[in-house]
Amino acid sequence: MNSLFLSNTISPHSSTTINSFSSSVSTSLPWRRFTAFPSTHRRRSFSVQSKVREIFMPALSSTMTEGKIVSWLKSEGEVLSKGESVVVVESDKADMDVETFYDGILAAIVVAEGETAPVGAPIGLLAETEEEVAEAKAKAAKSASSSASTPPADTSTSTPAISQPPPPPATVVSDDGPRKTVATPYAKKLAKQHKVDIGSVVGSGPNGRVTPADVEAAAGIAPSKSNVASSAVAAIPAKAEAPTASSPPPIAGSTVVPFTTMQSAVSKNMVDSLSVPTFRVGYPVATGALDALYERVKPKGVTMTAILAKATAMALVQHPVVNASCKDGKNFTYNSNINIAVAVAINGGLITPVLQNADKLDLYLLSQKWKELVEKARAKQLQPHEYNSGTFTLSNLGMFGVDRFDAILPPGQGAIMAVGASKPTVLANADGFFSVKNKMLVNVTADHRIIYGADLAAFLQTFSKIIENPESLTL
């Protein structure tokens, strides 16, 4: 659960600010003096006025910049108790119930269901007493009216009025005063050869550039075919610029669908990953023994994903640099834990639940943990630490029959491994005899700032040995 409120309570005798989970939008009552005992010593005391608190859009993850209100669990006017869930917020990765740390009345809902708000923006108002409900509603109405009056000012500056005159053409050049003549080198050569004042020649090329054909015309000479062709070619860019000025018209019958919060987060991460210099290394792995192990442990609830995650974690123990990460381009971190993030496609996006300390869990516990994470991911109930703590990512499309693919490196991690399907492959030995064995192709994408080719090759060799002799995975 996450708290909704953040406030500052200031002592009258100190400049120290005491942070608590609420934010007051009203002022305190004047301080009152009273005598505690009938003596010359007098003590100063005060009473705290009840407050109207703003309910803020919480930051549910380190990458969250805005949230969407999925549903309000309480209605305006309902009395809330401390620790009670009030609203369901969709972050960039999951839907989370958010609770209050204070008793009060939900006086006003500022952001309705289905709408979004940036992190830290008020989404509702909480009153402590019935008398403050009207004050909170007035505050919400004033906020809504001020925000509604802002867009027209923005649109008036960004959208020109129809009555505005069009800007003057850029190609109009005044004949008054000297002007700089722009001409091609060959045109200048021809002008000198035929004794033509090139400054008096009107250019027909882009931006008024004088072409050889213009000089020959001024000299009264029939333009040659080559000059005509070059002049035409020179004029093409000016004509070709017109179509690029406007975007292509939409295809008839097409529908524009805005990104969901999760899709926006995935899009941002994919764009951010382009700033990291990566390289890829592929490796074929024999899977005969792996397939046999899977058939043996599958009735016990063990999944192939858990087996691959366990094998990857065991290989990373021997190659810690592949489990390292570089976030600022100035240094890198050897991560103390091996947390395997596994890509999972869910409705409307992609998420990577994390199997934490995968090297330390046995195969059966790891598989059970994985099933729980998948269920929470599909219900959009993952907690932030369950999807943003990965140190190495695994992406498996083998169940779809994909032979091989390359995966995009997630920001903040050193490597990601893409696993293809296990398929029968014809092999030839040193004696020239042929055999058929099951093999799968794995491709690792890595951050070349901290991981080098030899590092990945050694890691993949270790991973292959574990897969080809998988009995150690069940220990």
The rounded distance, in Å, linking the Cα atoms of 438 and 262 is 37
**Do the domain assignments include residue 251?**
no
Give me the pLDDT at residue 1, please: 52
Give me the pLDDT at residue 165, please: 46
Confidence of residue 209 (pLDDT cuts 50, 70, 90): confident
**Do the domain assignments include residue 125?**
yes
Amino acid occupying residue 120: G
Give me the pLDDT at residue 447, please: 95
- pLDDT tens readout for residues 316-358: 999 999 999 998 888 999 999 999 999 998 877 788 999 999 9
**H-helix or E-strand spanning residue 240:** helix 225-244
**Do the domain assignments include residue 405?**
yes
**Do the domain assignments include residue 239?**
no
**Do the domain assignments include residue 248?**
no
Which is more confident, 310 or 63? 310
**Do the domain assignments include residue 79?**
yes
Range 57-60 contact pairs with CB under 8 angstroms and sequence separation of 24 or more: 57/89, 57/111, 57/117, 57/118, 57/119, 57/120, 57/121, 57/122, 57/123, 58/2, 58/3, 58/4, 58/89, 58/98, 58/119, 59/119, 59/120, 60/2, 60/89, 60/91, 60/93, 60/94, 60/96, 60/384
What's the domain count of the chain?
Answer: 2
Catalytic residues: 448
**Do the domain assignments include residue 362?**
yes
Same domain for 289 and 424?
A: yes
Same domain for 268 and 136?
A: no
Give me the pLDDT at residue 149, please: 53
For residue 245, pLDDT beyond 90? no
Average pLDDT, stretch 192-198?
80
Last residue of a domain, one of 146, 174, 203: 146
Whole-model pTM: value is 0.58
Average pLDDT, stretch 356-375?
94
**Do the domain assignments include residue 409?**
yes
- CATH code of the domain containing 96: 2.40.50.100
The rounded distance, in Å, linking the Cα atoms of 228 and 211 is 9
In terms of Cα–Cα distance, which of 309, 311, 318 is closest to 289? Answer: 311
- pLDDT tens readout for residues 162-194: 444 444 443 334 444 445 567 777 778 778 877
Last residue of a domain, one of 130, 146, 162: 146
Contacts of 88 (CB under 8 A, 6+ apart): 69, 70, 71, 72, 73, 95, 96, 97, 98
Last residue of a domain, one of 146, 174, 209: 146
**Contact (Cβ atoms closer than 8 angstroms) between residue 176 and residue 167:** no
Q: Percent of the chain beyond pLDDT 70?
A: 74
The rounded distance, in Å, linking the Cα atoms of 88 and 17 is 30
- pLDDT tens readout for residues 25-59: 443 334 444 434 444 444 444 344 447 777 888 87
Give me the pLDDT at residue 66, please: 80
For residue 210, what are its two tokens? Answer: 């004088």
Domain that holds residue 288: 263-474
- CATH code of the domain containing 367: 3.30.559.10
Give me the pLDDT at residue 466, please: 96
Average pLDDT, stretch 256-282?
86
Tell me the backbone φ, ψ of residue 184, rounded to 5 degrees: -75, 155
Confidence of residue 224 (pLDDT cuts 50, 70, 90): low
